[in-house]
Structure 1
Amino acid sequence: MENLTVLGQRWFKILNLILWIALTGLIVACQSPASVANTSSVPGAQSPTPMNGPRLNGDATVVLTVNDRPITIVVNGQDAPYTAGNFVDLVERGVYDGTIFHRVIRSPQPFVAQGGDPQSKDPNVNPQAYGTGSFVDPATGKPRYIPLEILPQGATEPVYSKTFKSAGISQPPKLSHTRGAVAMARSQMPDSASAQFYIALGDVQFLDGDYAVFGYVTAGLDAVDQIQQGDKLQSAKVTTGLENLQK
């Protein structure tokens, strides 16, 4: 009976978390109405062609420095080539240096640490606007968005621009939202991810099939556990695998 009680309490906490996320519109998205409207107004934002963006043909290693502590991420270009390529390209451009972790959720259950909004390093931007920004490509002067890209287990090609539910896929993704997973944040539109990313602070597999995981923290999870909302991402560096980036 005691074990059933503990199990019931655990499920109650998980259901409360899901309900709380739904009510606040969090679900790891650039969730403000303004950002959703801006994304939908950009031509092609809802259906970008995967071949138009950077691609990672293999793996790469990225080291984030937060609170003077390193966090090592292995970026998976085998299973998420365009999502991984976008991230490595932005790291190499220095887009993430000085950005803020603007959303860190640990209660009632460990959820995510989200950051990477390019506008968060601009002192003239109101912190309340953090989480609504995208990467603006200097070559075009327009935001760059990438398609939702998730590879089902047993498949040879990722599903693009659709959640698993909307695509009628029942099997789980190959890259799951286990603790330490790194994935792209987006608005309600599948193809609205740009620069913002999040690190899973616990096993949050209820996000599987809806958001694109592209790598995992392989060292420095203790540093991830210490990240507080408002902490700065001091630097992001590609340490290996940059030769796999195809622009």
Structure 2
Amino acid sequence: MFSELFIVTTVAVLALQHYIFDNDPYKCQSLIQTGHWLAGEWRPSGCGAVQYGSRSLQTCTRHRKRNIVFAGDLQLEGTYYHFVQRMTTSKNKPVPAPRERDLHHESGSVSLAFLYDPHLNGSLLMNAAEAFRDQTPESPMLLTIGAANTASESASPEEYVDRVRSIASLVHTCRPHRELGSHVDYDTGPGDLLLFAPAEESFHVERSKPFRELNQKLRIASVETPFHLTSAFTRRPVRKITSSQARSWSKRTFFAPAGTCF
């Protein structure tokens, strides 16, 4: 009798700890903040993950027209291309050489866009941010912004952090920030997301110093402003290539918890 009661009590305590005291019960924050590489794939800490394809995204949109927008420098352009590959059958097709121009791809009810905006001050980016803020029909279900590598290479980290703060503040004037995963619905997941991408660091300690320093400034700012920083993706096990060079981005992908949408 005592052993049965002990087991029941232990399970109850663990459940309370998970659902009441755990500030990330759905591991949404882990998806963008922590993890490790395993056999060439990124594994978020403490959970499994589903790599969404076209069919899953169509389900997430409930077959309504929705937008996914990437805005920033050439580093983020690579993420856009891999997202396009996820939406098509050409997953093994090489990523094209970087191009300093806007890009667009339609797949069913999902519209993907890359806005080349290395200074984060273009009118199209601001239109997307305002649509996200006002939750208009054109509001992106996922708006990912990042030009940190360009800022690091041009030695303008303070200006970049101020610009990120400004965009985050603009969005949150009418759409208050909330902790990622604080509310998760089975059909809609954590809801529409605004994410900021960090500078991509090299494993070469000296060369990655300005990138690490900017990422640290962004982490501090993300607490003070606040905003969601995808700090889990600051490093990759390949040679760093600057935004001025042709590169093939391998393995930077977006994940979502099984059974949820963006």
TM-score by length of 1: 0.29
Structure ranking higher on relative contact order (CA contacts 8 Å, 6+ apart): 1
> Greater strand share, 1 or 2?
1
Higher Cα radius of gyration: 2
> Greater helix share, 1 or 2?
2
TM-score by length of 2: 0.28
